[in-house]
Structure 1
């Protein structure tokens, strides 16, 4: 029998079969995975979808102001004027839907760890706590109303309103313990918190023990956290505190008077902001960038997660034009001169009570103020701003803002602007001579004259008119601007309005009677009453006896003369630097004085006015034996300085007084500093009280600090020497 050979698969066929099986397995696995994914997606969407959607809805990005300090403030040399002192703080974050009842429960527990300030609690706060926590005691105090409430005859609101009217502090003190009051104080800080926005419960005086115990109990204190807060720190104490400004507290938030202003700029009600002066002026620079936080809450609104999405950043640092060393030295000088002059007035008053030798009214109490400004005349940098006053007890108090906010008639100091206005209107030429003589007008019972020349006729040019402070030269110039030439017995026109406007425009070019451009709020512009029917006042305007000006305006005025005619805007800010804890940060912005206008001097006119100012401080004309009005105090300065003095008659509390003013610049031929000084309400005497020595001391101090010259002792007033010079006479 024939046998058949069995068929065998080739190797290639076997490999194909294995590959096919593997592919089928892979496809099955992929199918099963897809099936699982489909079921999982269905579960997430259908079963868990609402839950996840709620979680998404419960996540919020919230900007908060926790621990974001403001930028610091420095002087021009990098000396810290305003810094930040960190301090421990206790915070509370109200979760969503958290009721006042829940908050009071947390406050009750938290208050066991904190010693709160309770003296300033309002009666209403204590009454509300009484209603909530002591219903039985309230029912006893208001038994009739309680019966009405229980019977439904009055509402709870009506009951509460009656309680607010009847329950007194004395009654409450018999019910609430010190622990209760501590809880009320804690609750008050917490209850006004907005949802998911931390508020400070306590930051002043948090002790190490309080901080540690609360940290250990955070798990049981819903919404409570610990951290760091800050407060403004002033290395130089009260120096310039008013000008540096104030910042609102964490409890105050946006000040009520500035609420609309800041809310319109995107602030929150509990933001800490600049309230006054530089802190307010440069709020946008000094404010920090708030921390951005993502909160996640559960269904009940309780916070279950907190994630910092963006770190907060401190504000940028502001560098000022002020030199704090110069400021402190000038404050000391201002105090020395003010107290010395007051003492001199008191000594003379006391002496005259016994002798009756002097016919002047000297009221020492009126001599209570001095303001002064020092600036760079070329760029508007304010180097120092000083104001000092003597209070009713004779104690020195700061009045630095007076240089900005107080205005006075300043007298002859403005005569440089008068001469320049005459040039510009073509009524006098540089070097022109006019006759200084007593002026006699129809209907005027008293002649008007210059102090240096009471009776004669003295030919005098513009330069010497400034040197000896000729009233007549200035008034004749003002008459010319009005289209009039002086003659004896002439009548003055009743309508002088157009000329007054022209004249004031001339003064305005120097900064007199207009804003200086200073980067501070509340600048006083001064008084400029209508002159349409006041020709006599118009003439007084020409000698600084009518309109009022501030020390800042006087400083800008003399700086305009010093620098050749550019009225440069004054400014306190020098530059903005990026905050850096270790070193000066990068410069982000620089400030320089803007030229507000240029006075149209001819070279000859400018030279005449500058020469006149030089003569005021330095010249004794031996041929006429005439002295510059500032010669006594200033002629020994080296390098030489230039300037102008002024004395304005004024009234204070119904008594005659003098405002004495001094303004100048140094060195005279290359000015680096300009200054103005105002002593209002000085005794009405001849000679004038010798207050101009403060100006000399100011320049000497500048030379000491910037030129490294040897220190010069401040001027020492000698009552005996001055008393001997007082003489009978009048203006």
Structure 2
């Protein structure tokens, strides 16, 4: 019985504990085994892989700017320089937040002053929202009426866009210090990762530089650097030829941005935007430095290696002597001032002049002034020589005569034509400036000397096989305009000259047919003596140079050579020398050319009563050339529908010297004068040629 009772006693808990402990130990053992296996997997099998991942860094190549090439005149005088100045810059790191830049901008504004006059409402809104508390406050207001689903579906950018719109409408009142910080913040925000932008890139004072340097630890990314601006040691008389360079804020011009980005430019790069600076941008810009930076997984810079130090832009050596250019500038101003003092410029819009080497096409001087007859303001406009067009008048008659000679309408041995006026129905008599009957007939040489309009019209009628009966319609070949313009084009009149400057005009051609499809005979006759189509002054210079050099149309150019800069800043090797380029050879022979050369010589040295430029006969060396007077009209730009424009006179002249071995060819024009009295064209030509042959100027050419 005791035995049975003992068997029926309940088991104690002590017998269960060892079993549970054993199970627990097994689980722990399995877990440790799994842990050890995982560690083995990580350390032994893939240790090197994960170590590389930890140490992985992104490598990026960043470009740095180099000094722009300089520009020198034909005597080696520096006319465009880079003037260095202290600058405050900001380099944006990968990990920087908008709120960080907000804090930096607020600190930096205590030490420097920047221009905040151009801040936009968007700039102010961006700055205001960069403060986290402001952003939260604004989003709370604008999100109040939106459902949870709408908020979840809305991208962050849409929320920010709505916040910007809200802030712009509210127009937060920013203090002067905050406006300064906003201007700084806008510039900092324009930087992309690891790029550097200028916060203040000129006129940074020594005090500002010292303050920034002293507090640099509080201003991450802010540095003191060097920037340069274009300067003009010889004055600004040639700046309209040289052109402009964009600022960092302007960056790439809108009309060329895609083209320049494709060439490797950044959006905020400076680039030549006009004339020589634009035309020779690939030469002047140099090649940027290249620095390879390594960024670790924490977005910190781990290494920086300069792969290429960059190369300064090459320099331009111009064909222009800066001192001669100044003399021509002064002559143009003085001549126009004289006309203004005489009261004949109430409709005129300026005066222009150009001088070239007729044998090579090298530009010796380009000058112009643009005048506003309403305000009296006068501005430099040298580029008017290539981009403004004028009806030049009789100065083009040399091309008409040579066209007639080449066409066979006249010959050197027989060039005499009647000098009786031409009468057309319902049209004023077409005649020369001298009285009817002054000459019965003229040779080509005399027609040039006396500037006979009648001769040129009768020559055109011969070239067009015209059948003329006074007071009746003239039947002339339909292609008369093509014939005349074809010869003019051979001299460069009416087509681009190829000068190494952008923006050249090709001229303006008048219509050839009337509304009934019939050739405009009267206009064709006007064309023959230079009173119809409009040309640029550079075309006139190319035309007279072609006559002066014996028939070769030379491409005009401004850059004589391209030269390297050595590391010490001195001039290095010449890498390119401009070679004179013949665009075409005009198809006249020497006997035909001599007809016009004799006529041009007689324009200055003839003794007739109607010789047009004998006031220049005493100029040394001897000049040959052709004057021009065109009837023109002044149309008020503020009244484009004016049907009664003022009748005006345009004075011009082309010339070269010495007449027997030309070294300089010039062309001048003064449009829309109210009177031709004053010999302004002759005075300007005289001044240009005598100035050139002064010893100090001539020796440089």
Scaled by the length of structure 1, the TM-score of the pair is 0.82
Instruction: Please list, as runs of the form range in 1=range in 2, the aligned pairs for 1:473-492 lying within 5 A after superposition.
Output: 473-484=455-466, 486=468, 488-489=470-471, 491-492=473-474
- Match in the other structure for 2:482: 501
Q: Per the alignment, do residues 431 and 448 of structure 1 end up closer, same or farther by CA in structure 2, a change over 3 Å counting?
A: farther
Contact 2:601/2:624 (<8 A) preserved: yes
Within the alignment, does 1:609 sit opposite 2:606 as a pair? Answer: no
**In structure 2, how many angstroms separate the alpha carbons of the residues matched to 1:81 and 1:44?**
70
Superposed displacement of residue 306, structure 1: 2.6
Shift of 1:250: 1.8
What SS does the corresponding residue of 2:651 show, helix, strand or coil?
strand
Question: Any residues of structure 2 matched to 1:280-299 within 5 Å, and which?
Answer: 280-299=278-297
Distance 2:307 2:460 in 1: 69
Q: 1:542 aligns with which of 523, 528, 543?
A: 528
Does residue 675 (structure 1) correspond to residue 672 (structure 2)? The answer is no
Work out the CA distance in 2 between the residues paired with 1:565 and 1:81.
34
Shift of residue 290 of structure 1?
0.8
Separation of aligned partners in 2, 1:55 and 1:78: 55
Residues 34-73 of structure 1, C-alpha deviation per residue, up to 9 Å, x if partnerless?
A: xxxxxxxx989954544445655422222232xx110001
The correspondence of residues 204-353 of structure 1 with structure 2, limited to 5 A, is 204-345=202-343
Find the aligned partners of 1:589 and 1:442 in 2 and give their Cα distance: 57
* Deviation digits for residues 444-486 of structure 1 (CA, Å, limit 9, x no counterpart): 4432222234235522111111111111111111111112365
- Distance across 2 between alignment mates of 1:136 and 1:170: 13
SS in 2 for 1:564: coil
1:405 matched to 2:387? The reply is yes
Task: State the Cα distance separating 1:404 from its structure 2 match.
Answer: 0.9
CA contact (8 A) 2:394 2:529 kept: yes
Partner residue of 1:510?
Answer: 491
Q: Which residue is 1:427 aligned to? A: 409
In structure 2, relative to structure 1, the CA distance for the partners of 1:43 and 1:576 (3 Å cut) is: farther
Give the equivalent residue in structure 2 for 1:704.
694
**Residue ranges of structure 1 left out of the alignment (5+ in a row):** 1-41, 346-362, 710-731
* 1:629 paired to 2:620: no
The equivalent residue for 2:6 is none
| Alignment partner, residue 606 of structure 2 | 619
Q: CA deviation at 1:263?
A: 1.5
Secondary structure class of the residue paired with 1:305: strand
Instruction: Using the TM superposition, name which of 289-298 and 549-558 deviates more.
Output: 289-298
Distance 1:164 1:137 in 2: 10
Structure 2 counterpart of 1:560, from 525, 530, 546: 546
The answer to whether the 8 A contact 1:436-1:470 is kept is no
How many residues get paired? Answer: 639
Q: Out of 205-214 and 646-655, give the one that drifted further.
A: 205-214
Distance 1:669 1:487, change over 3 A: farther
Q: Distance in 2 between matches of 1:269 and 1:708?
A: 45
The answer to whether the 8 Å contact 2:122/2:168 transfers is: no
Q: Among 179, 182, 191, which residue is 1:181 paired with? A: 179
1:367 aligns with 2:335: no
1:642-679 residue CA offsets vs partner (Å, 9 max, x unmatched): 00000010111211001110110011111000000000
What is the CA–CA distance in structure 1 between the aligned matches of 2:181 and 2:426, rounded to whole Å?
Answer: 77
Return the alpha-carbon distance in structure 1 between the equivalents of residues 254 and 298 of structure 2: 34
Is 1:528–2:515 an aligned residue pair?
Answer: no
* CA displacement at 1:699 relative to structure 2: 1.2
Please tell me whether the aligned partners of residues 436 and 453 of structure 1 are also in contact (alpha carbons under 8 angstroms): no
Is 2:620 aligned against 1:658? no
**Hey, what does 1:585 align to over in structure 2?**
572
Distance 1:600 1:237 in 2: 44
Judge conservation of contact 1:91–1:198 (CA < 8 Å) in 2. Answer: yes
Are residue 61 (structure 1) and residue 61 (structure 2) matched?
yes
Contact in 1 for aligned 2:425/2:472 (Cα 8 Å): no
Contact 1:439 1:488 in 2 (8 A): no
Counterpart secondary structure, 2:236: coil
TM-score (structure 2 length as normaliser)? 0.85
Q: Report if aligned partners of 1:616, 1:627 keep a CA contact under 8 Å in 2.
A: no
1:106 alignment partner in structure 2: 104
| 1:517-548 Cα distance to aligned partner (Å, 9 max, x none) | 10111101111123142111011110000000
CA distance in 2, matches of 1:60, 1:458: 85
Q: 465-474 or 523-532, which moves further after superposition? A: 523-532
